[in-house]
């Protein structure tokens, strides 16, 4: 059965750099916001020229939206994945993890025979991109034919995120120092919110995080960060 939004990531081990370095994908994603990208093979022309490099170059954008890790997986051995990552200058941006025996790919239900395109009869991974939060899949884009670059590209995944502007409400009464925070879900659209550090936003929802609301307060623009899709 193919994994879908709302499902938990499988409890499967991948490898990073060497066969001795195991990474449990479920543990890696626990309590984190993670992007997982799957590709048919390392060093393939399409994956090396644009697809994975786009996720590498967009790393800062993902981080600004609260993403903790970006992971690229392929049914290759860890030495090949490590060499590919070095060739792409992925260090510190995208972790290159090997699904050597295809256990993770099979657990996702995304295996495919790429004999016609890669000249191998062994199952490989369909091209996909995924956003998971605390180990639960929130967004998933799988290429219909398994290898084209359309819905799963970084540009499309980035467009799924909604910005959050964090404002600090500071009590203005002289003898009270209580502070609360509110979260305002916003979308970058029109410049109708001049104090927004993200150059304008439409306010769509306000969530009071603390119940201790001062009687008199002043809204002061604080740092901006971003929420999950």
Q: Known catalytic residues?
A: 47
The per-residue DSSP string of 202-226 comes to EEEEEEES-S---SSEEEEEEEEEE
* Residue 83: CA count within 13 A, CB half-sphere: 8
CB atoms within 10 A of CB 60: 9
* Separation CA 40–CA 128 (nearest Å): 9
Helix %, strand %, coil % of the chain (to 5): 20, 35, 45
CA distances from 180 to 102, 209, 213 (A): 48, 7, 7
SS3 113: strand
């Amino acid at each position: 059965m193919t994994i879908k939004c709302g499902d938990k990531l499988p409890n499967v081990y991948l490898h990073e750099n060497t066969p001795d370095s195991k990474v449990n994908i479920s543990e890696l994603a626990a309590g984190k916001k993670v992007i997982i990208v799957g590709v048919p093979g390392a060093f393939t022309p399409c994956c090396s020229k644009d697809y994975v490099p786009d996720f590498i170059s967009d790393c800062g954008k993902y981080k600004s939206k609260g993403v903790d890790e970006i992971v690229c997986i392929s049914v290759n051995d860890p030495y090949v994945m490590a060499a590919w990552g070095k060739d792409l200058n992925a260090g510190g941006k995208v972790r290159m993890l090997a699904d050597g025996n295809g256990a993770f790919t099979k657990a996702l239900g995304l295996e495919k025979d790429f004999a016609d395109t890669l000249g191998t009869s062994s199952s490989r991974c369909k091209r996909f991109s995924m956003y998971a939060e605390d180990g639960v899949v929130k967004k998933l884009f799988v290429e219909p034919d398994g290898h084209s670059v359309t819905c799963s590209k970084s540009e499309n995944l980035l467009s799924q995120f909604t910005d959050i502007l964090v404002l600090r409400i500071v009590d203005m009464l002289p003898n009270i120092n209580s502070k609360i925070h509110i979260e305002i879900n916003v979308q970058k659209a029109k410049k109708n919110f001049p104090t927004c550090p993200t150059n304008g936003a439409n306010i769509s929802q306000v969530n009071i995080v603390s119940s201790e609301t001062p009687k008199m307060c002043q809204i002061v623009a604080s740092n901006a960060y971003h929420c999950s899709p």
